Structure 1
């Protein structure tokens, strides 16, 4: 019995098609764990809809993806002088975010990242003159800008891209192709209309693969069910049952990513209050699991084990049976399933 990822394949692919139609020339992103589906599966999907280019996170991912995908490979992590060399075919394209990086990649295919309001990495305006003097030594595939997801100051994403287009034009740099991230379809269309001589290519991962939440579902199989009474001791640490009910052993533990949670950006008093409440409950060993039974997320009875989790299901809930499956609310990017079931 397993932690399974169920996929409504036709619905999943229909969503892919809708995104592809909204972003002509899309560059599908396949990085990390392949958004929960794995690199090989996403390479098959991309080959199926005929994209000439796929983006990966690192050179190590590119080295694996080259065996699954026959098109070009765009490495998103910028090149750094002195990095460990990874053998890659000529169809690999390196992102570069500095003049020094361009100078070190003589003869290579490169995409040059400019510094956006993300302030993460990128060539700055002051370096554009030096950049113009060095691009003749590389095979320039275009420029790129990585935009923030939220714009709390009310600024416009399209205006930020236009500002960089103007700077690059003023520096007499070629504007044949601009790779963009985190633009909506209307914003993308506005840019293409304003700069018809430039090909804009949207690098998209989450929206493409995970945009339809109802197309996928994780479920953990119930492996064992033990009735307990309030005060009964159980588990590795011999904790006490908080009431009458059942201890339920369900497939899915730390090796699957169960119990892992990335920090969240909290906005507003309600979300902050909920965060404080969760933290307070954790100090008394009350941690909500991702598993749902009887319409509610159930509490971990103790911290998840490597391959299973033990949950407490109170007596007033429906009694779980061995072989049942519990829906699990898990992040695709941190989860490793045992099996994938196509529906």
Structure 2
């Protein structure tokens, strides 16, 4: 009995193919939990469709997937002086976001990230003059810019990239390749037309692997169903049931990511009102689970355990049987499955 990720493999791969066709030279990204699929599985998929470069989040991820992908690996986390050494092959390319970092990687293959409006990391305009001597000691694979997802100020992504292209060109730095993130197909076309001598390579993760929501589905197997009467005690904290019903034990707990949620940016009155309502319910131990039965998301009876969750079903809802599977509405990037099943 398990929390299972079901994949409509043909449909999933058709979506991947469509994204690859829209972004020539696309650099697939496999990091974290592999967008819910596991990085090894994604490395095998990248090998399958023949990309020559795979981006990963950290050196540790590069060390794990290097035996499953024969092409070049781009580590997205910038190199820092004094970081723990991880044995990696020469086909690994390091991202660098400072002049000091470039100088610390003599002989290595590097991509230099510039500071975007993300304000996360990157070399600044003031650093460009120092890069001339620094890059003489490395094998420069290109520059990179990581753009924000939302532009609430109405600014244009192409304008931001263009500004940096002009700065780099004005500093007489090599512009043979620019790695970009979070660009639309039309925006990429505009840049390629304006700078025909530069190869633009878009790094894509979420849209590539998770762009077709209906190609995947999580399901948790029902392990036990217990009838309860109003006032019965149950669970770790021995709470009392508020009414007659059933307790349903389903595969999927905190070790799988069930009940764990990343903070969300809320825009507008309605999303904020819903957030306040959820917080109010949580304060009285009312938490909606991701599991669906009889057309509705069901309430946790108590906080999820490590490997299972206990749900409460009111008496007027016919319970599932042991062995049934409940659809689980889970966030891919925070979920770890027990097994993955390809539906072909």
TM-score (norm 2): 0.99
Note if 1:66 corresponds to 2:66. Answer: yes
Q: State the partner residue of 2:327.
A: 327
Note if 1:238 corresponds to 2:266. Answer: no
5 Å-filtered alignment, 1:165-176, equals 165-176=165-176
- CA distance in structure 1 between the partners assigned to 2:300 and 2:188 by the alignment: 44
Q: State the partner residue of 1:184.
A: 184
5 Å-filtered alignment, 1:98-247, equals 98-247=98-247
By how many angstroms is 1:24 displaced? 0.3
Farther off after superposition, 181-190 or 1-10: 181-190
Extract unaligned runs of 5+ from structure 1: none
Farther off after superposition, 232-241 or 7-16: 232-241
Note if 1:309 corresponds to 2:301. Answer: no
- CA distance in structure 2 between the partners assigned to 1:144 and 1:51 by the alignment: 19
By how many angstroms is 1:47 displaced? 0.7
Q: State the partner residue of 1:21.
A: 21
Q: State the partner residue of 2:318.
A: 318
- CA distance in structure 2 between the partners assigned to 1:29 and 1:170 by the alignment: 31
Offset from partner CA, 1:77-135 (integer Å, 9 cap, x none): 00000001111100000000000000111110000000000000000001100012211
- CA distance in structure 1 between the partners assigned to 2:216 and 2:228 by the alignment: 34
- CA distance in structure 1 between the partners assigned to 2:112 and 2:61 by the alignment: 20
By how many angstroms is 1:230 displaced? 2.1
Number of aligned residue pairs: give it. Answer: 343
Offset from partner CA, 1:141-188 (integer Å, 9 cap, x none): 000000000000000001100000000000000110000001111111
5 Å-filtered alignment, 1:239-258, equals 239-258=239-258
3-state SS of paired residue (2:105): coil
3-state SS of paired residue (1:203): strand
Farther off after superposition, 132-141 or 115-124: 132-141
- CA distance in structure 1 between the partners assigned to 2:6 and 2:243 by the alignment: 33
- CA distance in structure 2 between the partners assigned to 1:3 and 1:223 by the alignment: 11
5 Å-filtered alignment, 1:259-338, equals 259-338=259-338
- CA distance in structure 2 between the partners assigned to 1:44 and 1:260 by the alignment: 28
By how many angstroms is 1:334 displaced? 1.1
- CA distance in structure 2 between the partners assigned to 1:142 and 1:257 by the alignment: 37
- CA distance in structure 2 between the partners assigned to 1:326 and 1:318 by the alignment: 14
Offset from partner CA, 1:25-54 (integer Å, 9 cap, x none): 010000011111112111111011110000
- CA distance in structure 1 between the partners assigned to 2:154 and 2:320 by the alignment: 49
By how many angstroms is 1:264 displaced? 0.5
- CA distance in structure 2 between the partners assigned to 1:121 and 1:9 by the alignment: 37
Farther off after superposition, 124-133 or 108-117: 124-133
- CA distance in structure 1 between the partners assigned to 2:231 and 2:157 by the alignment: 57
The CA RMSD over aligned residues, in Å, is 0.8
TM-score (norm 1): 0.99
3-state SS of paired residue (1:243): coil
- CA distance in structure 1 between the partners assigned to 2:52 and 2:63 by the alignment: 17
